[in-house]
Structures are given as structure tokens and as C-alpha cells.
């Protein structure tokens, strides 16, 4: 029976492994984010999970060893010596999220205007209010201003830890 599995690759070999699996006729998900181009040779996108990708495999048909020994692979992610199945809901969520990224709509519904009021809902500053400063390029983070010790301090916060007030 087919299931989704997380595959661990060698550094910067995610695209090579993805292409090899697609050439074998397998369904593959490599979540990526836009990256700032620093030169002509730098990639236009970077993996959301560096060194990991997901593949839909039937391990009764495709031997685990044929996946583990592919060029660029470190191995299928296992716990207790058994390949770990990734839930279909997780894959669907990633696919929806990556579609939002591709459409440029990946700010979690947060306003992108400076000085918008936000609440921090995660991390060490949870519960505090913040003022949106700017979104950091190529990252799912924002720079916000938080009042600490009577002064506004600049902090970098993951977008998922912010909600609109």
C-alpha cells in the first residue's frame, strides 16, 4: 500500500533526488520557498526543510534499499528501524501552503503595512503586543517592534507566532 515517507538527502541534493524519483514515476513533494538571488548561480528557491523531501511509495513494490542507496540520498526517515509514514493531512497542508507561497500569499493573513498592531502568540514574548515593521525577505519571519523596559525594541519573529489584533 502506498504511503508518504520523509526522505533524508545529502546536503543540497534535494532537487537531484526529487528529479530521480519523478523519473521513476513516483509522486514527490519538495516544499520550497523563494530565495534572494545573490548571484546568477544562486538558486531562485530554497527547500523549506533543508535535506528533506517527501515521496509516496509502496514499500511492498519498491524495496527500501533501492531508495536508500539512490545517489544523493542519506536514507528514508525511520523510527525504531521502521520507515515512518507521514500523514496524508500533513502532505495536503504542505501542498496548500506551498500553493500559497507560489501565489505570493504567504503572510498568514497578516497586514504587510508598517505600524500594523499585532499580538505575539508563540515563543518567549507570547502575549505581548507588537508593531509590524517589515517582512524579512526570503523568510517566514517579520521584524516587529516590541515595548521592553519602556523602549521599543526590534525583534525578528516567525510569522506563525503573530496574529492580527
The predicted-structure confidence for 96-149, as pLDDT tens digits, reads as follows 888 877 766 555 556 567 888 999 999 889 999 999 998 887 667 889 999 987
Domain ranges within the chain, ordered by starting residue: 3-102, 117-164
Give the CATH number of domain 3-102. Answer: 3.30.70.940
The Cβ of residue 35 has, within 10 Å, a number of other Cβ atoms equal to: 15
DSSP structure class, residue 89: H
Fold of 117-164: SH3 type barrels. (2.30.30)
∠ CA 139-21-96, nearest 5°, is: 40
Q: Give Cα separations from 6 to 31, 51, 80, 87, 92 (angstroms).
A: 12, 10, 15, 10, 14
- Which tens digits make up the pLDDT trace of 18-61? 999 999 999 999 998 776 666 777 667 889 899 999 999 999 99
- Which tens digits make up the pLDDT trace of 62-90? 999 999 999 999 999 999 999 999 999 99
Quote the CA–CA distance of 96 and 156 in Å, as a whole number.
25
Amino acid at each position: 500500500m502506498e504511503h508518504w515517507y520523509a526522505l533524508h538527502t545529502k546536503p543540497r541534493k534535494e532537487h537531484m533526488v526529487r528529479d530521480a524519483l519523478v523519473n521513476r514515476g513516483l509522486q514527490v513533494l519538495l516544499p520550497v520557498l523563494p530565495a534572494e538571488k545573490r548571484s546568477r548561480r544562486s538558486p531562485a528557491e530554497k527547500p523549506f526543510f533543508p535535506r528533506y523531501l517527501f515521496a509516496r511509495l509502496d514499500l511492498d513494490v519498491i524495496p527500501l534499499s533501492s531508495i536508500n542507496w539512490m545517489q544523493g540520498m542519506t536514507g528514508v526517515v525511520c523510527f525504531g528501524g521502521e520507515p515512518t509514514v507521514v500523514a496524508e493531512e500533513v502532505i495536503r497542508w504542505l501542498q496548500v501552503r506551498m500553493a500559497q507561497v507560489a501565489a505570493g500569499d504567504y503572510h498568514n493573513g497578516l497586514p504587510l503595512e508598517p505600524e500594523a498592531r499585532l499580538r505575539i502568540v508563540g515563543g518567549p514574548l507570547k502575549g505581548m503586543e507588537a508593531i509590524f515593521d517589515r517582512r524579512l525577505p526570503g523568510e517566514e519571519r517579520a521584524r516587529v517592534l516590541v515595548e521592553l523596559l519602556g523602549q521599543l525594541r526590534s525583534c525578528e519573529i516567525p510569522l506563525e507566532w503573530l496574529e492580527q489584533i
